[in-house]
Structure 1
Amino acid sequence: MAATIRSLRIGGREFHWGARTYVMGIVNVTPDSFSGDGITDLQAAVSQARQMEQDGADLIDIGGESTRPETWAGSGLSAEEELARVMPVLERAVASVTVPISIDTYKAAVAERAVAAGAAMVNDVWGLRRDPQMADTVARAGVAVVLMHNKPAGGYRDLIGEIAADLRQSAELGRAAGIPEDRIIVDPGIGFGKSREENLEIIKRLPELRRLGFPLLVGPSRKSFIGKTLDLPADERLEGTAAAIALSIAGGADIVRVHDVKSMVRVARMADAIVHP
């Protein structure tokens, strides 16, 4: 178990874990986002990032590859295709907002270019396991990294135990490459290779994942488990997301990754008033 990490400087800003919940806004530069919010216009994407900052986002996460199952069933985007999508937006966003920018990618080549352009965090949905160069790339860059749990095959016998073990292995990959322990954030990967019931169980049992000792990022926003529970499409899952966010904060989430920043900042502040008075 890692020693409990108290704070982290990301892009010139200090994040004090346990003091309050930080909100990460999602900018999807994709034509096929599962949540229906993908943007392919440069100015619209940059304007969205600016609006998220005004609405209270503490970080902006920019991604160019959809994580919907039907997209990942194929070969995925090449690094060149992903760079063509994200770099114009990222470069403009870095110059347009003051909050730290995160790059949502599992490709080392994309992460390297993004960090060189000003990204202060890498959000890897494969937890350093997909691209063998990613751990070294992040270590050399000296930025923070989010290690997400991802097991598309599913088939859990001990859901939380297996997630915790896999996250420990991802963290060890990072440490072995030279990533300082205090730059690692973990994410249980809600919606990735998990059933509706398993996603609900993760939120219910988040305190058990706190025992890993790393800051915890949770991203339930608009996910299909909410749609299945409430029988609603992605663009009508605001209230379900709010409930999941509030309970994630009660369970110990340090960062919540959301599409609807203005509403979820309010949810986070209200939850913080109860959890972190």
Structure 2
Amino acid sequence: ILTLQDQGKLSVDDALCDWIQPCPPAWAPVRLHHLLTHQSGIPDLMAQANWGMTRTTYRTKDQLVEAAARYGLQFQPGTKIRYDNVGFNLLASVVERASGMPFETYIQQTLFDPLGMADTGSDADGQAQGLAMGYANYPSGLAPQPLANVSIVYGAGALYSTLDDLLIWTSALHHGQLMKAESYADMIASHNPPDTPNERGRPPRAWGYGLYTNRLGERVAPAFSDREIYHTGSWAGFRNIITYQPEADVTVIVLSNNYHMREQVFLISQQAMAEALGHPFPTGMKAAD
């Protein structure tokens, strides 16, 4: 979205209904900015009754937009934050209309290929080969999770990659290769409305465009207080985090093919960050206040 804004093809202040047709009247006040910051009020489809079954069923982009359009707004756009994958599916449809290219083609030809990310691409159609198997912990033991249907998050995930490629991506993202300086500043700025929820008893993170900023080291012991720009991710059988410390120019990437490794993945990321920054090595998680 920000790359297309830099090209003059759209603006984050555009109304969603300028790009999505037919557009429900309830969505009239929604701007692309609201989608980028999870403030649109459009409910996440996966939180709706009976939607869980769709995790196993392929859906086209148009079907997902039509499904989202059945619901009104949960709150006035810009007044609250509620994490919402459907907003990024809608943004992917905006990218298609603004660029004139399928979303998967646009990100491949405009972003991944020029950066030399040869092992990164979309798996929205479930046809990618050589992917790792995900696992989950059950009372009976560790169980493989068949590769999940990711078509329902085609704009919010549905990608495969490697540590090496993700390091290329993070470097390009934070060193001016993907967007103008002013767009980058908007991306990492805090767009929090007054009603931003706390983080498990701690002050809220800063919600930017598709990522967050927070002092993640304050959650481990011994703690440290350097700011980090980051995003976590999970799906059936997988858990990960990519975090970046701008002052020291340090990137930490942790990928796990076990869904139930949330705390471990986070702790490993902060152990690596602390070591890179010269802080005492964290040995565990700090209890929430």
Please report the TM-score for the alignment, with normalisation by the length of structure 1: 0.32
Per the normalisation by structure 2, the TM-score is 0.31
- The structure carrying a bigger helix percent of its residues is 1
| Rg comparison, structure with higher value | 2
